[in-house]
Amino acid sequence: MAKQDKEAAKEAKRAKKAASKARRGQIFEAFKLQRREDKWLLPWMLGAFLVVTGVVFLLGVWWGIPWFMLPLGIAFGLLAAMIVFGRRVQKNVYAKADGQPGAAAWALENLKGGWRVTPTVAGTTQLDAVHRVLGKPGVILVAEGAPHRVKSLLAQEKKKVARLVGETPIYDVIVGNEEGQVPLRRLGPHLTKLPRNLRGPQIDALEKKLSALATRRAAGAALPKGPLPQGAKLRNVQRTMRRSK
């Protein structure tokens, strides 16, 4: 038993080491890609490192412990450089995704926190879409696509949701760069600034209510559209009568 535990611990350690190595590799690849496209990446990272390290070192000089503070300054400088790197990569990714179909859904699914995202609760053949987000603010409907089409799509979805959620606040957002719209890169911050109206159990109850809407949609999609062909009703009745005999 003890031997098995040791083997399991070794295996877990190896897996952790492999995951860490893979993560470092991904960061390095991202750095190389970003460096090719962003000529200001290294100057910004170096500047952040030097400024933060210098400030911490000067504080050490002021307090009379400069060489004690220098390693701390280097550590904080590296952290600042990595933050700059992450921000510039994020900015580049959002710039590439902006205007692409499904970009808003991608941004929503990458939100941090307790957001519950249901992509494409409504859409058109032109790839316009409305996504639903549940969170502490309430229900947030996020639309992307041509403004003249998504406005009506958003209004229809809002009516359907309002019938189920009652007094729960419903917010609507159109992603875009025109007046009254929210840019893709600002979508996350925009949602986090909304007022906090609900708590965890209320969000759970809300999610259950809205799952009924999804079930109803699925049932509706399974039914054939349009009127029955002529004589179909009569044939169905005759078939039922034969089976009952």
Per-residue pLDDT of 18-48, as tens digits, reads: 777 787 787 788 778 788 888 889 999 999 9
Contact 185, 91 (CB under 8 A): yes
Question: Per-residue pLDDT for 218 more than 60?
Answer: no
Contact 137, 195 (CB under 8 A): yes
Question: Per-residue pLDDT for 245 more than 60?
Answer: no
Question: Per-residue pLDDT for 229 more than 60?
Answer: no
Contact 46, 81 (CB under 8 A): yes
Contact 130, 123 (CB under 8 A): yes
Question: Per-residue pLDDT for 49 more than 50?
Answer: yes
The DSSP-derived string for the chain is -HHHHHHHHHHHHHHHHHHHHHHHHHHHHHHHHHHHH-TTHHHHHHHHHHHHHHHHHHHHHHHT-HHHHHHHHHHHHHHHHHHHHHHHHHHHHHHHHTTSTTHHHHHHHT--SS-EEEEEEEE-TTS-EEEEEEETTEEEEEEES-HHHHHHHHHHHHHHHHHHHTTS-EEEEEESSSTT-B-GGGHHHHHHTS-----HHHHHHHHHHHHHHHHHHHHHHHSPPSPPPTTHHHHHHHHHHHHH-
Place of tokens 């009127």: 227
Question: Per-residue pLDDT for 235 more than 50?
Answer: no
Q: What is residue 29's predicted lDDT score, i.e. its pLDDT?
A: 82
Indicate the average pLDDT of the chain.
83
C-alpha to C-alpha distance for 61 and 53, rounded to whole angstroms = 12
- The residue count for the chain: 245
Contact 98, 183 (CB under 8 A): yes
Contact 76, 56 (CB under 8 A): yes
Question: Per-residue pLDDT for 15 more than 90?
Answer: no
Positive or negative, the Cα torsion across 150, 152, 154, 156?
negative
Closest CA to 172 of 163, 61, 164, 161: 161
Question: Per-residue pLDDT for 60 more than 80?
Answer: yes
Contact 132, 211 (CB under 8 A): no
Closest CA to 133 of 153, 161, 156: 161
- For residue 9, CA distances in Å to 1, 6, 17, 22, 169 come to 12, 5, 12, 20, 49
